[in-house]
Amino acid sequence: MNADLIYNLPSPRVIVMGDFILDRYVWGDVNRISPEAPIQILNVQREENRLGGAGNVVHNLITLGAKVIALGLIGPDYASSQITKLLHSLRKTYHTIDYTGLITDKNYISPIKERMIAHNQQVLRVDKEISSEKNRISSVSERKLIKHISLNLKEVDIVILSDYDKGILSKTVLEKVISLCRRYNKPVLIGPKGTDFSKYYGATAIVPNRSETEEATGVEIDDPECLRGAAKLLLKRCGLDFVVITLGPKGLYFMDKKGRTYSDPSRHRDVYDVTGAGDTVLATLGIAFASRLSYADALHLANLAAGVVVSKIGTATVSREEIISRNNLVPARSGFSKLKVMKELLKELHNHRANQQKFVFTNGCFDIIHPGHIKVLEFARAQGDILVVGLNSDKSVRKIKGANRPIFKQKERAKVLSAISSVDYIVIFDEPTPINLIKQIKPHVLVKGAD
C-alpha cells in the first residue's frame, strides 16, 4: 500500500451510534509501598479525560478525515458533562462533527473507566457504572435515536454501531437501525459485545476480537481451520455479508458469505497498550469500506492503523499522516508531503498532544544536506515521539547567509527533508529566528545542534 492511496482517501460521512464512555487517566509515579497494606502508592502528577467507547470511534474517524454524526445517550451526571465537553472541543478543532443526536435521559448514567498509570504502565483500573439491565434505554429515548438516524441516513456513506453493552443498543434499536440501513442500502458495521450475536442479524459486517468470537460461537480458535469454522458460523447465524476477526499480534482475518478469505498479519511492534485498538480498527475499516477500497486494502489499512495506536498509552487515535510516517510508506507522487502550513501543523500536533506523545522541535536552513545534518535530525527524533523541523524560507536564508544563498529553493529543501525518515513534519518560517514558531508549537523538547 502506498502513501498516496491513504493520503488521498475521501472524507466519508459516517453515523456512529453506541455507548459513549468517559475514559479517565490518573498519571503518577510509584516510589514506595503503603504501610497500611502491601499495595503501591501512586503519587498523582496529573489527571486527564478522554473519549472512550463509541466516543473513541468518533475521535478516530475524525482524525482520519471523516465527517461524523454522533448518536447515543447522556445523562445529568459528571461523566456525561465531560463527554459533551470533549466532543465540543473536537468540533472547535475539526468542524466535522455533529453531536446534537446525543439524547439526554435523566435516568441514564454514563460509564467511567478510570485507569491509574505509573511509569507508562497501567497499575489499576476502576470502573464506575450501572449494569445494562438497570441502565437500560427507555422506549422514549429509543424512538428519539431511531428518528435521528432516519433523518440523517440518506446523507451518510456508512453507519457504525459501537456496542459496549452499556444499555444503548437494545434489541429494538438494533433491529430498527439495521432494517433502515438495508432499506436505504447503507452498509452497517458493528463492533459487537456479549455472547449472543444473533441480535446483529442482517448487518453488513461485525468486527469481533478473538475472545469475543470464541464466546459467541463456542469454537476455540487454536488453528486456521478453527478460525475458518468460527467465521462461517458467525456469517450464517448473523446473516452477514462479511466478518472481520481481530487476532491481536496475529493481525486481522476476513471472510465473506461467498467463502472468500483474506488475512493480514501484524508487523512487529513495540506494544505499550492495546486499550481502544479495536475502536481504531472499526473506525479505519469504516472509512476504508465507505471509500470503496478492496477488502484486502481495507484490512491492510486497518492493521497499519492498529499497529500505530498500540504503541501509545491509553485510549488513542491515529491520523493518515501518522499511518504513512510510522509505517515508512513512500508516496509515489507529490500528493503527500510532510510540509505543513501552520494551521495544518497545529491540528496534527493537537492530536499528538491528546495522545500523550512528546514532540521535538529543531530548525535550520538545511541548504546542502550533509552527514552532520542527518546526525542532528536522528538525535532530535530520539528525544521524543514526533519531530517537527522549522525550515528557514529563502528570504530568511538570504538575511542570514547573504544574497547568494540559498543554493536550493525552499520547496527543494523541504522535499529532501521529507525523504528523511527521522522527520515527521516540516514548517517554513520567514523570520531570522524561529522564536515565534516555537511559541506557537510549544514543543516538549527543543534541539539545536547536539543540545
- Residues taking part in catalysis: 279
What are the angstrom distances between the C-alpha of 71 and each of 103, 148, 293, 297?
7, 8, 26, 29
Report d(CA 426, CA 164) in Å as an integer.
Answer: 40
Report d(CA 248, CA 277) in Å as an integer.
Answer: 9
Cell of 217: 460461537
163-172 as b/e: b if 16+ CB within 10 A: bbebbbbbee
Cell of 256: 465473506
- First vs last C-alpha separation in the chain: 38
Report d(CA 448, CA 451) in Å as an integer.
Answer: 5
Beta-strand relationship, 67-74 and 261-264: unpaired
Cβ neighbors of 343 (< 8 A, separation 6 or more) are none
